[in-house]
Each structure stands twice: as C-alpha cells, then as structure tokens.
Amino acid sequence: MFYISTRGHASKQGFCDILLEGLAPDGGLYLPEYYPALENPQQLGLRQVYETQGYAHLAFEILRLYIDDIPSDDLLALCKKTYTAEIFGSKAIAPVRDFEKNIFILELSNGPTLAFKDMAMQLLGNLFEYELNRRSAELNILGATSGDTGSAAEYAMRGKKGVRVFMTSPHGRMSKFQQAQMFSLQDPNIFNIAVEGVFDDCQDMVKAVSNDLEFKRHYKIGTVNSINWARLLAQVVYYFAAYFQVTKSNQERISFTVPSGNFGNVCAGHVARMMGLPIRHLVVATNENDVLDEFFRTGIYKVRTSSHTFETSSPSMDISKASNFERFIFDLTGRNADKTAQLFGPELIAKGQFSLANASFFTNAAQQFGFQSGKSTHQNRLDTIRAAAAQQGQILDPHTADGIKVAQDWAQADTPMVVLETALPIKFESTILEALGRRPDMPPKFAHLESLPQRVEVMTADVDRIKHFIETHCATP
Ligand SMILES: *Cc1c(COP(=O)(O)O)cnc(C)c1O
C-alpha cells in the first residue's frame, strides 16, 4: 500500500515513512492510494475474529490492509501489546452500552488519560518505538496542548526508547485534573512546559521552532498531531468493533454521531464506511465552534479568526479550522488533487473560506457519503447532562453530551445510533458541577492523582527560551 498527498505531490510513500512525518511536502495530507474494500464474506470473517479473538486481533486484521512494511508477526505483537485489558480497563477495550431506545454509547475513554485519544495514541507510541529502533533513530516530539492531546501523547510515549516529549500548555488554564495528569509524570523522557499565555501562544512557539529548519533537523523535531494517518487508522478499528456489538448480521445498518473538532475521529468513520462497513449516516456534532456544521448545512467552509473562536465548556472541540477536513474534501471531489489544492491553498488563504454550495459535490456529502451534522450549545450541554443523570442515571462528559444532543435530533426509529464517548466526566468536573450541583465520582485509580508531586517548567512565551530548553534536555538520555 502506498500513500499519496491530497494535493497531488508525485512521490508515493510507504506507511512507515509517513508514520514519522507530518504534512506531505506540498502541504497536503497523506491518504492511502485506495480504501481496501471488504466483500461480505470477508467482513463476516472480521466479525468472527472480533468475537472469538478480541479487539487486538481485529485491529491487526484491519491495520494489515494498510501496512505492508512491518512484518505480520511484529504488527500483531504491537496490536496485542497496545490493546490490553490492563491499559483500557476491560477485555472489550471499546465496549458499547445502552443509553436509550435505539441510542447506544461506544466507550472509548477508559484508557490511561480518560479520553478517546488514547485509543490511537497508545498504538502510535508503540509504532514509534518500533520504527525508531529499526532505523536507529531518535525523535523529539514538540507539541502544544490545551489538555487531551498532550496528556494522551505523554502517556503513550512515557518510557519509550528513542522518543522525548516536549509539551507546552497554557499556564494555569487546564483543568486541575488535566494538570495533575500531565505534571505528575516523572519519566525522564517527558518534559512539561507551562507557557505564560494562552493556547495560541503555545502553538505559535511550536510553529516558530518548526519553521527553523536547521534547528528542526538538528534536534529531530517531530509532532503527534491529529493529521497523522496512523492515528486516524487506529480509530477505524472501533467503528467495526461497535458495529459487531450492536448488530447480529452484516445486513444491518447503523449510524454514528461523533463529537467533532478537527474532523479526525469522524474521518475514521468515513474510512470505515468507504471500506464497506454498513454505516447509514455519520453525524458530525459540533459545539458553538460550528465550522463543520456550517459546511454540512450550507456548503461553505469558513475558517474562524481567533476572535471568532469561542472558549466553550466542551473545550477539546474549540477549533478555528478542522485540520483533517481536507482528507474528506479530497474524496468528496472524486479524489481530485488539483481541485483540493486549489481549495485549501490559494482560495482558503486569500479569502479564509471556500464554497461548494453550487457544486454537485456538495449534495454528495449527504447522499453518497452519508454525512449529516448538528450543533450543541452550552445550554444544550447542561440540559443533556441533567436529563441523562435523571433518566438514565449516567453522567456524561460535556463533549459526549454534545454528541447525545445531536444524535437525538437525527435518530431514526429503524436504525441504531451509536454515539462516541470521547472523554469521561471527571476530566471536566466544573461543567458537571454547574449542571448537577455535584462532582462526578473520581475513578479509584485516580484518587490520589491531584496530591502527587508535579514536575513542570514555567516559561514566558519566548522562542529562544524553549529552544534552549530543548538543547539542554536533548543531551540527557
Ligand atoms: C479531541 C477531542 C474531540 C474532537 O476530536 P476530533 O478528532 O478532533 O474531531 C472531542 N472530544 C474530546 C474529549 C477530545 O479530546
């Protein structure tokens, strides 16, 4: 399997080459040359694999369709090492639970950092260690986080050979739980940097360092952001696992609702559907930052300025643009790289938006690709959390509540709807407190987290200081 750029760059790469890379050389995103199609008998095979051998084997069977530059035995070993009951809290790894009639919740947040990003990042950590060792190479991951991505990356990379993590976050702006999760890590290859500023200041510092090509090459700076194809691929697996749990035969269709920000998670659902998984609708749920909902309603994709990017109570979906969206537009335009390059290059840069409202492509988004969308506000979130506590006795995290709200708007009597649970409520307790007047229960294994000693470097938003910090700490093993 070769990987191509959404903007048409000529070179084709193998999986392990793009694993350690970010964007393609032309600024596009990598996608496989084609989506391996599942014929029904083979899909039946996958159901059996899942039911008799479990999640790790299912992951292996799906990943091997896209990865041919890691020997099978090694790939299976990596999957088995990643998807264990010890790391993900149950043998099912991603269990489905009932919510209400015909609406189900896919639990993706029982991993080390209690958000769905662990599902992909834990695999990425093992893939990185494997490939860096094979190449006798090293990587220094530099990132910016407002919470979930940074902690998932650190818990995936801690103690891994050949990898260091330098993670910036806005000083004092993450939840207490999120800070404790990250800053209590004592592993020598993990470095937390609290920047005096907001998230954008962190991101600007990371960009400035990455734009210094000399520094970047010398210190082997890399990223783990959500455009990484390996992360997306790992997420495809749980759409299959959910389908096999909710249905009895491969003739049935189901729909998914996905709380969305950067369009990574729901893009994995799109890939599963392209492979032939019988998905009827993929419903994109946004918060007040409704770039994606606007597109699916109107055909207009309009990037928000920072003054129009709101801080909401589902903060992990507070985005100004959806960084994985280009992958879907590439497919939507019939894999037209010139068109995609034109839309995301000059047009978006010059105007801050593009419109497909009058293109036949746009109708395809719903008709051919099954997309629908909706939006949820702070009030919707609170109402949904309250109703779920009262009627189902379940406490929803604010992002998952956005998903439930939009799922209820779109639910159809004849098609089961599965909502992806993207975090556990304990990560966002202030909103739970606001909705219910009480805090969610702390899972026992985190009872002492907030009292552990913390290790963090506080820094002004100064590019030279962070470079100096990286230089100094790259010398240590
Ligand atoms: C990252 C995240 C999202 C958004 O996922 P995307 O793949 O960026 O669309 C939603 N909810 C939570 C809790 C997250 O951490």
pLDDT at site 132: 96
153 lines ligand 1 (CB under 6 A): no
For residue 108, report the distance from its CA to the centre of ligand 1, in Å: 11
Average pLDDT over residues 171-193: 93
Residue whose structure tokens are 């993670």: 167
317 lines ligand 1 (CB under 6 A): yes
SS3 125: helix
In which band, very low, low, confident or very high, does the pLDDT at 52 lie, cut at 50, 70 and 90?
very high
Residue bearing the CA closest to ligand 1, atom 14: 316
SS3 222: strand
263 lines ligand 1 (CB under 6 A): yes
Average pLDDT over residues 329-354: 93
10 Å CB burial of residue 363 (0-12, 13-18, 19+) is: exposed
Q: Express each pLDDT in 99-145 by its tens digit.
A: 999 999 999 999 999 999 999 999 999 999 999 999 999 999 999 99
264 lines ligand 1 (CB under 6 A): yes
Q: How far apart are CA 417 and CA 83, in angstroms?
A: 25
For residue 326, report the distance from its CA to the centre of ligand 1, in Å: 17
- Between 39-43, 50-54, 301-305, 384-388, the lowest mean confidence (pLDDT) is in 39-43
State what percent of residues in the chain have pLDDT above 70: 99
For residue 336, report the distance from its CA to the centre of ligand 1, in Å: 28
Ligand 1 pocket test: pick from 107, 116, 146 the residue with the most ligand atoms within 8 Å of its Cβ: 116
Tell me if 164 sits within 8 A of 141, measured CB to CB.
yes
Q: Among the atoms of ligand 1, which is closest to the Cα of residue 148?
A: 15
Q: Express each pLDDT in 71-101 by its tens digit.
A: 999 999 999 999 999 999 999 999 999 999 9
Ligand 1 pocket test: pick from 262, 270, 287 the residue with the most ligand atoms within 8 Å of its Cβ: 262
262 lines ligand 1 (CB under 6 A): yes
In which band, very low, low, confident or very high, does the pLDDT at 476 lie, cut at 50, 70 and 90?
low
Q: Express each pLDDT in 160-177 by its tens digit.
A: 999 999 999 999 888 888
For residue 264, report the distance from its CA to the centre of ligand 1, in Å: 8
SS3 147: coil
Give the residue extent of every domain in the chain: 96-112+235-436
Q: Among the atoms of ligand 1, which is closest to the Cα of residue 117?
A: 15
Q: Express each pLDDT in 363-395 by its tens digit.
A: 888 899 999 999 999 999 999 999 999 999 999
422 lines ligand 1 (CB under 6 A): yes
State what percent of residues in the chain have pLDDT above 90: 82
CATH of the structural domain 96-112+235-436, one choice from 3.40.50.1100, 1.10.3720.10, 3.40.50.720, 3.40.50.10540: 3.40.50.1100
For residue 266, report the distance from its CA to the centre of ligand 1, in Å: 10
- Between 240-249, 280-289, 310-319, the lowest mean confidence (pLDDT) is in 310-319
Report the relative pairing of strands 163-170 and 190-196 from DSSP bridges: parallel
225 lines ligand 1 (CB under 6 A): no
315 lines ligand 1 (CB under 6 A): no
Mean pLDDT of the chain: 94
The one catalytic residue among 117, 302, 321, 339: 117
Average pLDDT over residues 288-305: 95
470 lines ligand 1 (CB under 6 A): no
In which band, very low, low, confident or very high, does the pLDDT at 11 lie, cut at 50, 70 and 90?
confident
Ligand 1 pocket test: pick from 316, 324, 325 the residue with the most ligand atoms within 8 Å of its Cβ: 316
Average pLDDT over residues 52-70: 97
What's 419-473 look like in SS3? EEECECHHHHHHHHHHHHCCCCCCCHHHCCHHHCCCCCEEEECCHHHHHHHHHHH
Residues 6+ apart with CB under 8 A from 152: 111, 112, 113, 115, 117, 118, 121
User: Is 117 tagged catalytic?
Assistant: yes
Question: What is the rounded radius of gyration, in angstroms, for the C-alpha atoms of the chain?
Answer: 21
In which band, very low, low, confident or very high, does the pLDDT at 346 lie, cut at 50, 70 and 90?
confident
The DSSP annotation for 320-388 comes to SS-TTHHHHHHHHTTS-HHHHHHIIIIIHHHHSEEE-TTSHHHHHHHHTT-EEEEE--HHHHHHHHHHI
pLDDT at site 477: 47
pLDDT at site 388: 98
